[in-house]
Structure formats: structure tokens, C-alpha cells
Amino acid sequence: MAASLFQYGAIRTTGPKAKELRRFVEKLITHAKKNTLHARRMVIAALGHDRAMYGVDEERMDKSVVQKLFDEIAPSYAERPGGYTRIVRLAERRIGDAGEQVILQLVEQSKAAPAHAAAAGASRRRRRATKRHTAATDAADAAAQADQATTAKADQAQAEQAATAKADEAQAQAQAGEKTEE
């Protein structure tokens, strides 16, 4: 989980896991701020291995998790004495055991992550309301289109009846004219 946090900048998990992971991750970042060979080896030992990072399209990225930690993440916290992570509680509960859901994010990474966090943190009530609103709008649009189609068909039928009535009237006049000539 720590490697995923370093790779993505934020992860979604349960409250107790996030609290425990926060302690672990902050120690790793403190070691990485030293930027020594010994610190790098301690971080690799703590993580268990130096995992390669993969992009969205399953392509291997140039850096590993430890390289990203030492080259990008730790230097951004050089002046910060601690508190590298933030726990954002979500209103949504986990399905199954109703566990409390949270987002654990790196503090400096939060400038790029709020849109993702807000989308992930939408409550069930808000998602359902949005879904109902979309369905009602779609139904109203479909009803309006059906009403327009029905109106167009009625206008066409009325025009056909008028044309048929004129044709019948003209035929009746023609027959009346033939009778008067006889």
C-alpha cells in the first residue's frame, strides 16, 4: 500500500489501515530526506522490494517507486518537519462490512488530487440523485420527441384527409357535370 501511495499520491482505503500506513509512510519519507545510500537501503528493506511502476496503458515507467520517493517526493518535503500525509474521511461506507472509507494522500500531492478525491468522495445519496435527475431528463426528452413525432403524424394524416376530401369533391363535381350534360 505504501508503494501505491508513493506512485499515485493518494489511495482509498479503510480508516484503521490508513492510520497505520500513515506512521509507516512518514518514517520512510523521513529516511528518504537524508538521501544517503544507507537510507535508500533501509527504505528498500522496509518496502520489501523496489517495485517498478506501470502506467495506465500497462507500460513500464522509467522510475521505480524508491527512485520516485528519493528523487521527487522527499525533496519536496525538505523544509517540512513532518506531517507528510493527510487522511480525508469519506461519507461513503464500504459495501459488505460498512467499514469507514478514507483517502490517504500526500500533502504536497493534494494540489493535483482534489478533483479525483471529490469525485471519489461523492456520497451515495448524491450519486443516486444525479442518476435520478439524468433518468428524468432523458425520459422528458424522449416524451417530447414522441410528442413531436405524434404531432407530425397527426398533421400528415390531416393533410392526407384534406387531399382525399378535395379529390372526392372534384370527382363528385365531375360526375354531376356528366349527368347535367346528358
Q: Give residue-wise pLDDT tens across range 35-47.
A: 999 999 999 999 8
User: How far is Cα 60 from Cα 57, in angstroms, rounded to an integer?
Assistant: 9
User: pTM for the whole thing?
Assistant: 0.56
Beta bridge partners, 103, equal 12, 88
Better-predicted residue by pLDDT, 111 or 32: 32
When pLDDT is averaged across residues 22-37 and rounded to a whole number, the result is 94
Across all residues in the chain, what is the average pLDDT?
A: 83
Q: What angle do CA 161, 164, 169 make, to 5 degrees?
A: 125
**What is the fold of 2-122?**
50s Ribosomal Protein L17; Chain: A, (3.90.1030)
